[in-house]
Amino acid sequence: MKPLEKYNPAVLFIYFLLLASLVMFAANPVMTMIAFVAMNSAAVVYAGNGLGRAYIFYAVIFVLTSLANPVFSHNGVTVLLVVNDNPITLEAVLYGVMTGFTILSVLLLFRVFSTLMTSDRLLYIFGRAFPKLGLLLSMTLRFVPLFGRQRRKIENTQKTLGLYKNENAIDTIKGKLSILSAMTTWGLENGIVTADSMSARGYGIKRSRTSFSMYRFERSDAFMLCAVLLSCGFIFLGIAIDKLKTDFYPRIELSEVSAYALISYVLYALIAFFPFVAKLAEREAQKKLFKESCDNSVNRERIEKRDSV
């Protein structure tokens, strides 16, 4: 079992596309919780840097989403309380909570996606058929970390020069606006320079330009692609024929427990947890290999000492 990042970029893109579609459109509490736990696990092993601070932002989004639905939607038959003649129903609260978990799962999924789908992989997928789209996507993903580093540089420079003050709210706003202005100018200039550089190198000329890529479509990629397509197709069919449907309005009606639903949940869990499990398997294999190499080196030293004696 090889980790997810070692598969062909086209397989990775299709995997994330189908998984994101299932996370967003499968309005099923069981699948939502599976996706949330699986995406948390994948984000920890693939995009753990800065994840603690991101959880604060995610928590705010979850609270706002969970509270917004019962405030603006008053459907449902189970009334919990009445605020200004507006009923707060249990169905609306639970639907808001499920929507919050869905949004968090999508955010975590795209966090892993941005970590694995680097600019060269996007150029490999879209570079030949859609060169401008591939360049745009790769530049967008590349500029996200660059913007963060450039913002810190500008902010530190302004603080060193005494131009940035945060003594009160007005000074803080002025400082942030000046940083935003500098960042906007830098981003536009960098984008123009990158576009001119790629144009000068002949990027986008289909017939007279060749491209090199280290990625090859192997047998394991074909197996992975078939497994993902068949599993997601089976789950999408269950959603289409209402085998996995859960109704929240006017009352909560969970999907029936059937063999089709159980198989769908198992397949969905296997797909969602695959990045986490494959990464752990790779780490365990590396630890085992390192231990074996250490044991071999120790044994070699012992043999050499014995022979010298």
Phi, psi values for residue 136, rounded to 5°? -65, -45
What's the rounded Cα separation, in Å, for the pair 42 and 65?
23
Strands annotated E in the chain: 79-83, 86-89
Coil/strand/helix, residue 253: strand
Coil/strand/helix, residue 114: helix
What's the rounded Cα separation, in Å, for the pair 2 and 199?
37
What's the rounded Cα separation, in Å, for the pair 287 and 284?
5
Amino acid identity, residue 116? Answer: L
pLDDT per position as a tens digit, 199-220: 776 666 666 555 556 778 888 8
The tens-digit pLDDT sequence of the chain (309 residues) is 677 878 888 888 899 899 988 888 877 888 889 999 999 888 888 877 777 778 888 888 888 888 888 888 777 778 777 777 778 888 888 888 888 898 999 988 888 888 888 777 777 777 666 666 666 766 666 676 777 777 788 878 777 777 666 666 677 777 778 877 887 887 777 777 777 776 776 666 666 555 556 778 888 888 988 999 999 999 888 888 888 878 777 777 777 778 888 998 999 999 999 888 888 887 777 777 777 777 667 666 666 666 665
Residue 178 tokens, joined: 């000046």
Cα dihedral 100→106→112→114 (10° resolution): -120
In terms of DSSP bridges, do strands 79-83 and 86-89 run parallel, antiparallel, or are they unpaired?
antiparallel
